[in-house]
Structure 1
């Protein structure tokens, strides 16, 4: 589902647009109504919308300045300009920032909807082509494989199993596509993947492809992208294996989200005793190790709750009995994912490094030693008693270290630093701090600015604006400062020195 924000200083206009169209019918969620540019800017940073419908003339920050500032961030927000001013100059300036839709007031419901639907296609295309960082891709593969194993060996509802991994994947809002590849014999599976990899690298290199194989059928699924699925189906059918028939057959389906897809897939594959998962075109086997999986998770929970050395020893002894390297890799990854999701003693950065190192390990005994050492260290550590989680603390630390960056966004921190789902991070940050990220960022910037202003002269305003992340825009800095403090930076300096 795409997210939409409407920004207009005329209340009747923004509220009318918000109600005349049934946005959910078009798979769009209205996440914000903003009365000026400054409010819209903060809301965009918090909600990371796909589409913003904005007026040009607004107090505080006009629509063009809003578009300019967002265009300098890593957000993929698409804009539609709604204005009563028909001067061509506005359109030309907007085009510099990639805006292709310019609607003049008054405009009809049909015109708005046509623009929205056209941009929606671009959004889906860009969403599927977002850079998939190797660390994030590794986490996604491990999450899906863990869910697969849990679904096999645990008698729990699928949505309950998935809920534990909300920090790492979007199960609810992104559409997914599933291909069934029939009549693919197990002896030909590796050859099939070797032919698929260069094709995928060439035609859709940024798409993470998940796969599950059972009983001569391969199920490949991925987030929907603006490609030609018919071409992909023809490619599958064109793959031949010497001396065998019949040829491969395919069937493809679309799903509104990953949760629905997984519920369908897990029902089909969980009855098989041997299941194979395709992790970055490598084959991982998954047996019904029900007892080991259940017992390991039980002992992990006990060790986390009690902190007793005996519980950790019992878990490590259980893992030492595993004789399958692939299974031990996945089980260890599953246990550390659970620690990260439920406890603050392991950060997502540490988790990412662990996943990458484990995937490279080729020696079963060495992995047992490494895993035992890691678990003893983690389970003997005391969880932090801070009222905020390690994740939120990492966000605060990152903001302090990169405050001068004018394009600092929660999306960047979540995806490139924490390797977590942006929406999850945003909600958890707000819940723990009691404030939205944009408000927190502004507060930190203003507090830093106050410190600098006390020891600076008034002609240093531009330098201070740059140091606190307002870029080469002292006017924006002054507007932001006045909004938060009720006075301009110059007035604040005068007041501090007893001149005001």
Structure 2
């Protein structure tokens, strides 16, 4: 049932009471109320209870028909909207695991979100994590036994290890997991009891669960895993450093078939030597140059300077590392432009190697950027002008055959690129330019030769002299014959 039509005056239960009852159990049913009372109070109360139409007796059949048609359209619209929503909801649910994985991967890689936007994502993805939660992170690497199989089998093993881990952690922890870029499994966990529990107790429980995970994987999957359990941190502020410290600890140990377990009970306090991770962040220095983001390149250099100055200490190797990355990116872009870097920026600038501080090094890099930008942009303009001159010469020498495709083939470039470049530099399209050249030649022939109109037409590539006359008249407001007659 989709529509109920009822009179307001009925024995036992009046129409308004019936509408209330229907709406209580079937909210989607549309109700049309008939009454002999035209008072406003009845109409207002009826509308408050979801009556879509209020018709006063004696009943006008045309109004009833219109009311039914309007109600049917409303029902159809709601059905369409519901179907669309259900379809979108189903697609969202299907992609939800991948969306969760992607968000965690972005966070451990250092991507930052505005706080409200991150909250919205956490809520929308049904993740039980909130700002400033105390969290732990552990990293799992599947060892030699699992890597002996193909990729598809390895993914199945990862799925199995993940399920075992989730089962072991499920009772006491909220868990969020993903697969990182190095084929490690990353688990972010927090206690169900929140921050009320001593972190040492949670670490003890996680250590116990991890040992259980080791034994279960060995028992059921006949292989070993290595696990790094991080120190506690604040979500999302510390998870990148927690992940990178765990990854560093994982890389410092050569895996074996049984794997191993390490707990990072304290944040790194040892060596002041730390990786310059911002140096290798995306977009890379090479990408910034390749896409002509000169200002973005200089901003990245300043970020390196700020990061380096924030380190407990930096040494000559840091300077050499940054210099090598800068120089490598410049060599790449120079060679991509088929030239030597020394020819672009000068040997003196390239030979500078003595830097006493990060600031000196960054200033050198910025000078390289500015010098290279000026040189490449000037060369680009010159190259473009050379192409335009070549196109114009081609048209002048082949005026009868000239067309966009003919010109593109002559200069060995794609027609679309030729068209765009010519318009950008000259301000007119190739077609307009060819037409102008033909009309200039036609005027020259009319003034300074005895050639017949049809001969001029053939010389300019018009097979039909009548079409040539039509084009000429559109250009000059008179026929070629009239033009010649006025000379």
Q: Report TM bin, short chain.
A: under 0.3
- Compare the two structures and name the one with the higher helix fraction: 2
Length-normalised TM-score, structure 1:
0.25
Length-normalised TM-score, structure 2:
0.26
Structure having greater relative contact order (Cα 8 Å, sep ≥ 6):
1
